Structure 1
Amino acid sequence: MIEEHVFVTDEQLKDYFELNRQQAMRDKRFMDYLCGYIAHIYTDRVWTFNVYPPYETPPDGRKIHPRCHEAGIPYSTGGRRKQLAR
């Protein structure tokens, strides 16, 4: 069982694909769903750990969204984005 607030690993994503491979090979729409789901989870994990953190805290030390900061709108993020998994 996947723990709440913990991202799945590449190996778990591969296992999920293999578990659903036969249905995906028979049904193109399901293949689209399966690939999209895996891509979404993978992208969210990479974004959370590799892309977002450098932009999370502006030079003044306040936790605000970068776009809001550029526009002068204070918007607290409450710290690092929570990890989500399904």
Structure 2
Amino acid sequence: MTKKDKTFIICGLILNVLFIPGIGTLIGSINSNKKQKREYLKHGIIQLTLSIVSIPLMLIYIGFLTLIFSWVWALNSSIIQLKDNKS
């Protein structure tokens, strides 16, 4: 793996931790192989959608759980991306 590939994945991990979950998974999928890329893109889109939908749902308290779930899932996805591309 080149330094550029690893940089994309680490930037994605930081984005997932600090900002909206799902964006980092989408960015980290840029340098994956074709099969992994489709899977990571699908996961990133679902995570981002859950994060956005959870904001108005926070008015009825279920949004907090949804946001925590999508954040943990995005964090896990980023760590898996880092491990998959570590070779």
Q: Shorter chain as normaliser: what TM range?
A: 0.3 to 0.5
Report the TM-score, using the length of structure 1 for normalisation.
0.41
Report the TM-score, using the length of structure 2 for normalisation.
0.40
Higher radius of gyration, 1 or 2: 1
Bigger proportion of residues as helix: 2
